[in-house]
Amino acid sequence: MADAAHSHTHVHEPVDSHKHDHLHSSAVDCCSHHDMDVERYLGFYLIGGVLALVSWIAHLTGMTSPLVATLPAVAAAILLGFWLFKAAVTEVLSGRVSSSSLAALAILAAMAVGNYGTAAFLAFILLVADQIVRRTASGAQRAIEQLVKLTPTEARVVGEDGTERILPVAEIKVGMTVRVRPGENLPVDGRVMTGQSSVNQASLTGEAMPVEVQQGSDVYAGTSNLTGAVDIRVTAAGADTTIGKVSSLIHEAESTRTPRQLLIEQVAKFYVPVAIAVATIVFFFNARSPDPLVRDTAALKAVTVLVVTCPTALLLSSPSAMVAAFAAAARLGVMVKRTEFLESAATVDAVVMDKTGTLTTGRFEVSRLAPAEGVEGAELLKAAAAAEARSNHPLAQSILRTATQARITVDAGGEYQEIHGAGVKARTSLGSLVAGRGTWIRTELPSAADQVTAVEARIEGMSGVHVVKDGRYLGAVGLEDKVRPNAKAVVDRLRELGVRTVAIFTGDRLSVGKRVGVATGVDMVEAECLPEEKHELIKQLNADGYRVMMVGDGINDGPALAESDVGVAMGLSGSDIAANSAGVALMTDELNRLPFLMELARRTRGIVGQNIAVSVLMAIIGLALAASGAFIELGGASLGVGAAAVLHFLPDVFVIGNSFRLFRFGEDFLESETIAREQAEASAKRVRRDASVRNLAAEPA
């Protein structure tokens, strides 16, 4: 577990008080004996193993009578078999007969025919091998829990009088002010009220580069405050924090049953009765053989059949891979809400992206004031700022920043109404104001249609906020945001992955959408879309046979995100509605997480298929060897059954090892991303002058 090594240990020590108890269960439980707290009983296992070994040596050397030599084996069989008998009873009572029941039945069968040494060795090997599997799985689970353990147990709360007091995080409420000093991990999600600092958000986003935060910046629990002290107004604490949601999503991966997993479990239900039937048939035909040697080994052959056909590996095939995939995704800042969304991402062949904040940075700047005839630019900007004063839309925030820079006093009082996908209406000291899209202004003020058209021609290619004051059209504020630097590369990579259609759905004007579409190389642009129109377009793509991934950032994208096969919200910068409507949230604004998600989903699907194939193949091979008596011929009674038990656990080890390869998926991705960023920063620092010439030696004389 990750401990924060700081001098203020009372604040930094990570703990388990955030209601993440579900993470402490094994991620790959498949039968009841996995659920037992067996580590405290390892001493009993060793005693049982020693007793079985003593009995075997006594029989082998003939140092005592057969009856006396058998007594240690009887004690060992009872001592070791108890744990499996207990687990089998639990399975039978719960109605989910599985591997423990088959193992217990095999031990009972060996004891019933007097092979106590065989029963003891079988129980010992099963229990020890189970411990190996459990420890392998718990090691991977600890790696997952490191995300959650980064959150401190206590927080430094600042009272209204400025005094500090230490409170457990469980007692922190939304609205409180928490002070975080340099070198400390943040205990809560919140917004910076005072102070400036650099924050390392790698635990959430996978980004190694620290983020500069100041007043108004959002910060997140589990991230590291590096340079300055900050006071934070709490917006979420405990399990409600962003990093707390990561833990709940990983728990979801453990407990959610995908259609494939449900099919596996249905097969396993019939698998156990079939295994018992096969063992009975093997015993029946061998017991009726005229050969006395065959008759003597009939029971042992039936026991080996029960051992090798335990469906443990088959039941582990999907859950183990899903847990590993969720952890790999979380390391790169990709939060997948349910396993079904990860499975759907593997088959996506159409990707639809919103423009603002998704393909573009979402950081708009006012590029042009286009006042109507007889209107001053200052009057237009002042009215636009007053109308948008209470809006959280990126365009509104940009207008307000520009008004502040122009030293315009903004009146935020009065009535306010936001019409989704259209604009806002407000009543302020300036009068009745309407601000929004040009098409909406035309319906609100038809007499100004010609003026709107003339102004739109002056802000061609820009996003426009048109303003009406007391029934008089004032003009439009033209804003632009930049296309993300890697947007075209991401679109190209999506095509390489087999995506047939890449589209932009935007509420902005066609000229703006087309500009971004040409720059990024998408196939189609649907502009001036209302929220319900985006929703209908996604439904149409689904009806046309596409498997659609919708990537959005704003409130208007919520319905479309919910309708798509895989909805992806740009997490940290996106709205809560978008994040809740989507099946996947990107904790970073890097678009290259989209192809990563698809590649991870496809790799996961492939590994689950490999796990199932190997599990079934090994069961068939084991069944053939057991039914033919090959195990008994190989090593006699005890060693033969022991070899069958080892063969039973080989596919378990393969499945877990194969699944946990996914933990490392994306490491190369992060490394190349870091190198590219360092190269870009180095290039940006290079001195560039207009009055210079390079490569003169290469030019002809």
- Stretch (H or E) spanning 274: helix 259-287
Q: Name the burial class of residue 585, with classes exposed (0-12), middle (13-18) and buried (19+) by CB atoms within 10 angstroms of its CB.
A: buried
> What is the distance of C-alpha 115 from the center of its chain?
49
pLDDT at 12: 36
Do residues 554 and 581 lie in contact, with contact meaning Cβ atoms separated by under 8 Å?
Answer: no
Amino acid at 272: V
Do residues 562 and 337 lie in contact, with contact meaning Cβ atoms separated by under 8 Å?
Answer: no
Residue 381: CB atoms within 10 Å:
22
> Which residue reads 């604490």 in tokens?
237
Give the residue among 644, 665, 655 at the shortest CA–CA distance from 609.
Answer: 655
Residue 582: CB atoms within 10 Å:
28
Question: Helices (DSSP H) in 230-258: which residue ranges?
Answer: 242-255
Residue 14 Ramachandran class (φ > 0 left, ψ -120 to 50 alpha, else beta):
beta
Round to whole Å and give the CA distance between 331 and 521. 30
Question: Helices (DSSP H) in 95-115: which residue ranges?
Answer: 99-112
What CATH number matches the domain at 365-480, 3.40.1110.10, 3.40.50.720, 2.60.40.10, 3.40.50.300? 3.40.1110.10
Round to whole Å and give the CA distance between 241 and 232. 14
Active site residue 470: no
From edge to edge, which strands make up the β-sheet containing 524-526?
Answer: 334-336, 584-586, 566-570, 548-552, 350-354, 501-505, 524-526
Round to whole Å and give the CA distance between 55 and 662. 44
pLDDT at 135: 58
Do residues 535 and 559 lie in contact, with contact meaning Cβ atoms separated by under 8 Å?
Answer: yes
Do residues 71 and 77 lie in contact, with contact meaning Cβ atoms separated by under 8 Å?
Answer: no
pLDDT at 638: 57
Dihedral pair phi/psi, residue 410, rounded to 5°: -100, 130
Provide CATH 3.40.50.1000 ranges for the chain.
334-361+483-587
pLDDT at 143: 46
Amino acid at 267: V
Do residues 519 and 353 lie in contact, with contact meaning Cβ atoms separated by under 8 Å?
Answer: no
Residues with Cβ within 8 Å of residue 397, at least 6 apart in sequence: 364, 391
Round to whole Å and give the CA distance between 104 and 86. 9
Amino acid at 405: Q
**Calculated CA dihedral for residues 91, 95, 96, 97, nearest 10 degrees:** 60
Round to whole Å and give the CA distance between 8 and 156. 11
Amino acid at 320: S
**What does each C-alpha distance from 552 to 464, 534, 581 come to in angstroms?**
20, 11, 10
Q: Are strands 164-168 and 154-158 parallel, antiparallel or unpaired?
A: antiparallel
Give the residue among 146, 166, 155 at the shortest CA–CA distance from 190.
Answer: 155
pLDDT at 140: 43
What CATH number matches the domain at 334-361+483-587, 3.20.130.10, 1.20.1300.10, 3.60.10.10, 3.40.50.1000? 3.40.50.1000
Question: Helices (DSSP H) in 27-65: which residue ranges?
Answer: 42-61
The per-residue DSSP string of 192-240 comes to EEE--EEEE-HHHH---S-EEE-TT-EE-TT-EE-SS-EEEEEEE-GGG
pLDDT at 435: 92
> Which residue reads 């007889």 in tokens?
374
Stated length of the chain: 701
Provide CATH 2.70.150.10 ranges for the chain.
152-238
Provide CATH 3.40.1110.10 ranges for the chain.
365-480
Tokens encoding 318: 């999907």
From edge to edge, which strands make up the β-sheet containing 164-168?
Answer: 164-168, 154-158, 177-180, 230-236, 189-194, 218-219
Angle CA 628–629–630, to nearest 5: 95
pLDDT at 393: 78
Tokens encoding 296: 């003597």
* Residue 505 DSSP SS3: strand
Q: Name the burial class of residue 277, with classes exposed (0-12), middle (13-18) and buried (19+) by CB atoms within 10 angstroms of its CB.
A: exposed
Domain covering 152-238, topology: 2.70.150
Please identify which of the residues 29, 35, 296, 354 carries the catalytic annotation. 354
Residues with Cβ within 8 Å of residue 108, at least 6 apart in sequence: 81, 85, 119
Amino acid at 613: A
**What does each C-alpha distance from 244 to 327, 330, 333, 521 come to in angstroms?**
14, 12, 13, 38
* Mean pLDDT in consecutive groups of 10 residues from the start of the chain, 701 residues: 36 37 40 51 76 80 79 84 78 68 71 71 70 54 54 84 85 89 86 88 62 86 84 85 66 53 58 76 81 75 76 75 84 81 91 86 83 89 89 83 87 80 85 89 89 88 87 90 86 93 86 87 88 86 92 71 86 50 79 92 92 86 79 63 74 84 79 64 58 60 53
